[in-house]
Structure 1
Amino acid sequence: MTSQRKPRGPYRKGIERREQILQAALDVLAQRGERGSSLQEIADRVGVTQPALLHYFSSRDELLLAVVEQRDKLDPVVSEGLQKPGDAIAAAVQHNMDQPGLVRLFVTLSAAATDPSHHAHAFFARRYGKLTSRIAPGLAQGQQSGQVRADVDPERVARLLLAVLDGLQIQWLLDPSVDMVQLVETFTAMYTECASSEPGSVAEG
């Protein structure tokens, strides 16, 4: 039995440097947003020149898309699915509210990616399909445990949930007084309320 070897030498250093650049970009964009940041600022944080940065990310567009992908990996709903509907969604919404710059980048890039010729079009098209397939099983499990209404289709609810989350982000960016957590909880109640009274559930005595 052989263990998987970690990359060594220049290749490993290249991977580590790329991760450092990506983390610096996440930090800068979370604070300042796309328009308020520059490749030079990101390069300065890592201690490399801008040409060196572009050795790891061939363009600003490639770096921005990598940042959005990394943002998804840190999102509880995206990375873990939906095992506990209320808890997971609230955590994801709060996570996003703590980094408005990345929310703005996501909204801007996803809107632009609706153009089939856009460099991020394929990523976002795959993203929603993958997210639906991750969230729907958690909702189906919720139906079995009585947490989710039995008369709703898990895949349709998953699609609606993603639409609600994305739409609320736009409203929040336009008006920060919008309480995304509260509104998402209202939507969640629509497919969880009265779940305990569905056929086959055990009523409390």
Structure 2
Amino acid sequence: MSKSAYIHKVAPGLPGGPLLFTFHGTGGDESQFLGLARELLPTATIVSPRGNVSEHGAARFFRRTGEGVYDMDDLARATDRMSGFVRAHVEAAKPSSVLGLGYSNGANILASVVFADPGLFDATVLMHPLIPFEPQVNGDLAGRRVLITAGRRDPICPPNLTARLAAHLQGRGADAKVEWHEGGHEIRENEIEAARRFFAFAPAPGETA
């Protein structure tokens, strides 16, 4: 897959440093999390694709037929395309670590790539993911770190599904943790602080993850 498989932005960081991919929510774009990503990890090179599916004009990464009802064939298509896009950038950059951050629909496509290609990302932050199906992980996630952030009153992503996702990832060997807040689908400051701490492990150029 080509590095240009998606419209995207690249914000350069230190050569050989971490490579951080960001994935926007429904209706967002490739600029949505560039500023936050730079704040969280100042040395990283940031790659931010725009979803290539339109839902009434709102950009998404894969189709759905209703809230929480996914077009699974299109999710498989999108997962394969995104995995190839990420891998092309990784092969070109040769980074010290490969990291991902996604929100809502962006968290869902990021999670799906992790299930399909467990060795691709060293660490991922999934903000308010909704995985309404039993994940099929293609291998194991030993040594991979996952931070899930969620609202206990999120009307879109029920807390029981968040807990189920975390347990599933842990069962496949991932170091998976959940950061909760008492609100809904919005991103709150404690999530951002948790992500900052989570990414603080990212090695400098010349080190290994």
Higher percent of residues as helix: 1
Q: Which has the larger radius of gyration?
A: 1
TM-based fold match above 0.5: no
Higher percent of residues as strand: 2
TM-score by length of 2: 0.31
